[in-house]
């Protein structure tokens, strides 16, 4: 199976001054295209011995400080990021022949920021964060459903649900961000921002990579 790409190209002159501005532009395009869950991204981590793992997670926030997602800190990705904070994010926007690849360092966000986001989640998702000890073994689906029903009785609809202490956000501070645009004859455009300065926003250079 082989797709043919005919999309318009991506040139250095098209780029925003920093990768977060460029990401905002492409994210708007992905959203406007009708693509299902454009904030879905593949998060890749590795444990302390370098063994990798990947999973799909939803991006919830981004700005010049980095890209934020939420998880149970006891999950596999949570444990791996605590042991080895290097991470990669991949936004696979295949229907519009684009990808964004982020490499950077993870850090936990503050509890106030986590609590503020948690309050915006649907009630059922709030209960789910309590019911699931993510990545741990569970005896059966019935057991998971029982835990959820107990929480639903304890926190009925309309009642405030506190953020679980073992649940929160990670922010990936980008060190490089690649924007990949599919082109004809497999001569894709790959432009990669690389951080060269410190501070929250940093300074960036742009490299063109061979496809």
Catalytic positions: 186
Phi, psi of 48 (to 5 degrees): -60, -20
Residues 6+ apart with CB under 8 A from 56: 40, 41, 42, 43
Residues 167 and 70 sit within 8 Å (Cβ to Cβ): yes
Place of tokens 């010049």: 64
Greatest pairwise CA separation for the chain in angstroms = 59
Burial label for 76, CB within 10 Å (0-12, 13-18, 19+), is middle
Q: Residue 211: helix, strand or coil by DSSP?
A: coil
**Over the range 91-113, which residues count as b (16 or more CB within 10 Å of their CB) and which as e?**
bebeebbbbbbbbbebebbeeee
Residues 142 and 159 sit within 8 Å (Cβ to Cβ): no
């Amino acid at each position: 199976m082989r797709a043919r790409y005919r999309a318009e190209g991506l040139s250095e002159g098209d780029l925003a001054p920093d990768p977060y501005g460029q990401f905002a532009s492409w994210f708007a395009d992905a959203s406007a295209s009708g693509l299902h869950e454009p904030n879905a991204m593949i998060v890749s981590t590795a444990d302390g011995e370098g063994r990798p793992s990947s999973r799909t997670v939803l991006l919830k926030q981004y700005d010049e400080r980095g890209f934020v997602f939420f998880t149970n800190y006891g999950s596999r990705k949570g444990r791996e990021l605590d042991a080895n904070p290097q991470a990669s994010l991949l936004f696979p926007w295949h229907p519009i022949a684009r990808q964004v690849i982020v490499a950077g360092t993870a850090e936990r966000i503050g509890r106030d920021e986590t609590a503020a986001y948690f309050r915006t989640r649907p009630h059922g998702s709030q209960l789910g964060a309590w019911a699931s000890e993510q990545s741990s073994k569970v005896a059966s689906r019935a057991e998971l459903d029982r835990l959820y029903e107990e929480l639903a009785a304890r926190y009925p609809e309309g009642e405030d649900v506190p953020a679980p202490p073992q649940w929160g956000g990670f922010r990936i501070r980008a060190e490089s961000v690649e924007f990949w645009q599919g082109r004809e004859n497999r001569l894709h455009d790959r432009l990669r921002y690389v951080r060269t300065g410190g501070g929250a926003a940093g300074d960036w250079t742009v490299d063109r990579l061979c496809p």
